[in-house]
Amino acid sequence: MATLEIRDLHVTVEADNATKEILKGVDLTVKQGETHAIMGPNGSGKSTLAYSLAGHPKYTITQGTVTLDGEDVLEMSVDERARAGLFLAMQYPVEVPGVSVSNFLRTSATAIRGEAPKLRTWVKEVREAMERLNIDPSFAERNVNEGFSGGEKKRHEILQLELLKPKVAILDETDSGLDVDALRIVSEGVNRVRETGEVGTLLITHYTRILRYIKPDHVHVFAAGRIAESGGPELADKLENEGYEAYVKGGASA
């Protein structure tokens, strides 16, 4: 069973000629089949955690370990992490002019699966996945994320999640900027992947709204660069009623 283990993770970023520590000792274990919600106020370091796990060059790991099934993730390049089974659905997916969605998906699936998918079954697989996410077939010929609406970008991320079938999926504020209909479609996509029982999900969000559609097994409150409190789904209800105020104050005085 695939397990992502994060131990005492410290991460810095260079900004304004100064080194700033954003993550200050994160401990978390995500097992295949589990869903963890990470919730926290703006600036608490949630997205830094997501991008650090994916290997974005902007972030420097200064301390701690991250392993996937015992393999050292921090030693891997960005593409190696993806091929090892990590997937990051981005908050702001990047436009890639001149590269069509169909070419991109096939190149990516070929890299992740280690061989080119058979054309006939692949076309069907993509078409069905797109239908489930209410994505128009003409989408395949458009350039990656170019001119996509906010909702289209997020559905395109979840399309990749469904096709690439990672061991651990990190969803970075996938719910932000979505209206209720789009949120429902995106959440259904995430739930289809979860129901296979083969993915561990790390759902990073600012709002409790998405948790009505995607039920987490564990909820963690993120504040000042570390997990301030962990609990079950009931912790989300508490946040819904009380907000992050207690944690922000605690973080400031810490």
Partner 1 sequence: MAEAQNIPVGSTTAGSIAVAAESTVATRMSAPPSFDVADFPVPHGREEEWRFTPLERLRGLHDGTAVATGEGVKVEVEAPAGVVVETVGRDDARLGRAGTPVDRIAAQAYSAFEKAGVVTVPKETVLTEPIRIAVHGQGGVAYGHQVIELGAFAEAVVVIDHTGDTVLAGNVDYILGDGAKLTVVSVQDWDEKAVHVAQHNALVGRDASFKSIVVTFGGDVVRLHPRVTYAGPGGEAELFGLYFTDAGQHQEHRLLVTHNTPHCKSNVAYKGALQGDEAHAVWIGDVLIQAAAEGTDTYEMNRNLVLTDGARVDSVPNLEIETGEIVGAGHASATGRFDDEQLFYLMARGIPEHEARRLVVRGFFAELVQQIGIADIEERLIARIEEELEASVG
Residues in contact with partner 1 by CB under 8 A are 54-57, 77-79, 81-83, 88, 90, 93-99, 103-104, 107-108, 111-112, 143-144, 160, 164
By C-alpha distance, which of 91, 99, 172, 201 is closest to 142?
99
Q: Which amino acid is at 226?
A: R
CA 88-94-97 angle, 5° bins: 135
Dist CA 215 CA 76 (whole Å) = 31
Residue with smaller CB distance to partner 1, 165 or 238: 165
Residue with smaller CB distance to partner 1, 89 or 235: 89
Residue with smaller CB distance to partner 1, 25 or 117: 117
Residue with smaller CB distance to partner 1, 80 or 195: 80
The answer to whether 215 touches 35, Cβ cutoff 8 Å, is yes
In the chain, what's the furthest Cα-to-Cα distance? Answer: 59
We find the least distance from the C-beta atom of residue 120 to partner 1, in angstroms, to be 22
We find the least distance from the C-beta atom of residue 111 to partner 1, in angstroms, to be 4
Helix then strand then coil, % of the chain, to nearest 5:
40, 30, 30
By C-alpha distance, which of 224, 238, 253, 235 is closest to 37?
235
The answer to whether 175 touches 37, Cβ cutoff 8 Å, is no
We find the least distance from the C-beta atom of residue 90 to partner 1, in angstroms, to be 7
We find the least distance from the C-beta atom of residue 180 to partner 1, in angstroms, to be 28
Residue with smaller CB distance to partner 1, 11 or 144: 144
Residue for token pair 């209909």: 181
We find the least distance from the C-beta atom of residue 92 to partner 1, in angstroms, to be 9
Dist CA 62 CA 23 (whole Å) = 10
Residue with smaller CB distance to partner 1, 33 or 93: 93
We find the least distance from the C-beta atom of residue 143 to partner 1, in angstroms, to be 7
